[in-house]
Structure 1
Amino acid sequence: MSSFVVVDGTVLVFEPMFGQRQVVLSEPAFISGHGEATINERRVCVMGDEKCVQWQAQYFIPGYAPGTGIVSVEALDGSQMAPCVTSGAPLILMGQRLIARFAPTVPATMNAPPYSPDPIAPSMGHGRFMPPQTLVSAG
């Protein structure tokens, strides 16, 4: 099954729940393309581009004061990788859901005694690409 090719400036949308944490990005999430080819004057995204971006976020847990952290792409699923290319790195495709990681930098803290902080351990979630182009597909 084919899927649209991800290009520079594609928006990523993350599901709000990362385990028990509700995560809200501080600004919109975009991916930058570093491939050699272009579609509508935007560079295509290739494998590895997803590892070059991260986004600041605030997170919430009921009964806790908010904390902050970083959202990043942990891994793409099989539907988000072009199966073969003639040169260079494989293209990133829209596909299904990617695996996202949230890592707290300033932990949320309980609102009442003993005012314990949320553990710093990362939590996993999901996200997806929103298609900025619908001309070129692969797969």
Structure 2
Amino acid sequence: MSRLILIEGDKAIFLPSFTPALVLPRPGELKGSGPATLNGKKLCVEGDEGKVSVANCSYVIPGYSIPGKGTLKIAALGDDQKAKKTKTGDKAVLLKGTTFTATFEVQNPAKQPPKGPGPPILDSTPTYTGKGMFKTTNKIFKGT
């Protein structure tokens, strides 16, 4: 089945649920590195998804009322997001597809207020896993 090809400037939309964490996501922007272009914008190829990074996103988890911060990244593409046949510069082009696997890397942990005197209790989980999808401005150019 053919799907829309991703181009430079397209967005990675992260869903807020990184169970049990709830992240306040912002979109990430794809940088295309394929030699082929569409309307002057480079096509996105395999590997470009690894360059998406959205820093300084807030998050909370149950029991930790003081929000923390971290970085959203694409961990793995879905099976329908990398072309099997369509290539440019010997690399598979990226396709809109359905959903990708995302990670949220904690830089500043969420905190639980202390029960008495002393420091707050920090969230000890370094990463959370969630999902996301691509939003493209390309409405016609498809790959398989």
TM-score normalized with structure 2 length: 0.89
Structure with the larger strand share: 2
Tell me what 1:54 maps to: 53
1:51, 1:23 → 2: CA distance? 20
Number of the residue aligned with 1:77: 78
Normalising by structure 1, report the TM-score: 0.92
Matches within 5 A, 1:80-91: 80-84=81-85, 85=87, 87-91=89-93
Count, aligned residues? 138
Find out whether 1:34 has 2:36 as its counterpart. no
| Gapped regions of structure 1 (runs ≥ 5) | none
Answer whether contact 1:19 1:124 (CA < 8 A) is retained.
Answer: yes
CA distance in 2 between counterparts of 1:3 and 1:119 reads 40
Percent identity over the alignment? Answer: 30
- Report deviation, 1:120: 3.5
**How is 1:1-139 mapped onto 2 (pairs within 5 angstroms)?**
1-25=1-25, 27-56=26-55, 57-64=57-64, 65-84=66-85, 85=87, 87-113=89-115, 115-139=120-144
- 1:112 offset after TM fit, Å? 4.0
Alignment RMSD: 1.5
Distance 1:46 1:10 in 2: 12
Deviation larger for 129-138 or 86-95 = 86-95
CA–CA distance in 2 between the matches of 1:13 and 1:86?
25
Please tell me whether Structure 1 or Structure 2 has the larger radius of gyration of its CA atoms.
2
